[in-house]
């Protein structure tokens, strides 16, 4: 198999992965607090062995002993990252709908452990504690937050929850110094890469505020993702064309060689 076939094959595989990412982003345009995935490319250079064989005796022979150095650039997916940019806030008017304006995460507890989330679609659970819509406990600075029955429930910008003017708990809001160390776990939750401990820190009140009665919309631009999908599909088809052409040339060369 020649180099053109290899390059086209890996190019097609890279764009297949890129297409899957765009499709997943579009599938979550209505997911509260969802953060889009993005990929980046870089050129990988293949260096042949003869490139490392310098011959200082250039005047001994008139012709080159070895082929000239040759570098082949191969664009590849270099990394996949989560875009943690701020999503727009949508007013709902619901008491337990909370949105984070600025960097930071809510901390929640599932049966598998503690995780982070940007989704603030909360509710008062059957046991009176604050929960996510999946039934996970929303953690405060001292653990689960009990919400007693009351008439007026308010949440301050720093995450302090009050019922009829009496404080009942404060949301455990955390910031992550290096968000690129987080990975998606499912159910709109985040954890450390490969299950590693999350290096969290206290939020900066000047940068982060909790907004009651709002939800954060996903930071997915539908038009941009659709354009990206079309571009990726066209690129994938171009790589398929290269593979087909390369196969036809190989077949023709083999046939001509066998006829001699």
Question: What tens digit of pLDDT does each residue of 130-184 get?
Answer: 999 899 999 998 899 999 987 899 999 999 999 998 999 999 999 998 888 899 9
Same domain, 157 and 231: no
Neighbours of 14 (CB within 10 A): 21
Same domain, 148 and 178: yes
pLDDT tens digits along 85-114 = 999 999 999 999 999 999 999 999 998 889
Q: Helix (H, G, I), strand (E, B), or coil: what is residue 137?
A: strand
Where residue 169 falls (left for φ over 0; alpha for ψ -120 to 50; beta otherwise) is left
End residue of a domain, out of 182, 198, 216: 216
Which residues neighbour 159 within 8 Å (Cβ) at sequence distance 6 or greater?
Answer: 170, 171, 172, 173, 210
pLDDT tens digits along 57-87 = 455 445 554 445 455 556 666 678 899 999 9
Same domain, 102 and 202: yes
Same domain, 212 and 227: no
Q: How far apart are CA 224 and CA 235, in angstroms?
A: 16
CA distances from 4 to 7, 43, 52, 255 (A): 5, 16, 23, 19
Same domain, 212 and 225: no
Which residue range is the domain that position 64 belongs to?
3-84+221-259
Number of domains present in the structure of the chain: 2
Same domain, 249 and 160: no
């Amino acid at each position: 198999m020649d180099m053109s076939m290899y390059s086209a094959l890996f190019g097609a595989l890279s764009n297949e992965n890129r297409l899957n990412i765009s499709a997943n982003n579009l599938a979550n345009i209505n997911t509260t607090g969802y953060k889009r995935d993005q990929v980046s490319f870089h050129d990988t250079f293949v260096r042949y062995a003869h490139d490392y064989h310098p011959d200082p005796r250039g005047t001994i022979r008139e012709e080159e002993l070895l082929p000239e150095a040759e570098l082949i650039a191969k664009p590849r997916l270099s990394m996949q990252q989560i875009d943690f940019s701020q999503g727009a806030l949508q007013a709902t008017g619901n008491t337990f709908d909370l949105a984070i304006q600025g960097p930071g995460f809510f901390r929640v507890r599932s049966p598998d452990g503690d995780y982070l989330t940007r989704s603030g679609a909360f509710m008062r659970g059957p046991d009176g504690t604050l929960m996510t819509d999946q039934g996970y406990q929303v953690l405060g600075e001292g653990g689960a937050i009990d919400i007693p029955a009351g008439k007026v429930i308010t949440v301050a910008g720093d995450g302090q929850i009050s019922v009829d003017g009496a404080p009942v708990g404060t949301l455990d809001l955390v910031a992550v110094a290096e968000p690129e160390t987080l990975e998606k776990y499912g159910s709109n939750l985040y954890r450390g890469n490969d299950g590693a401990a999350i290096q969290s820190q206290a939020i900066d009140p000047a940068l982060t505020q909790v907004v009651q009665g709002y939800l954060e919309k996903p930071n997915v631009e539908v038009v941009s993702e659709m354009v990206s999908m079309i571009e990726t599909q066209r690129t994938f088809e171009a790589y398929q064309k290269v593979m087909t052409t390369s196969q036809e040339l190989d077949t023709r060369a083999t046939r001509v060689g066998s006829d001699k």
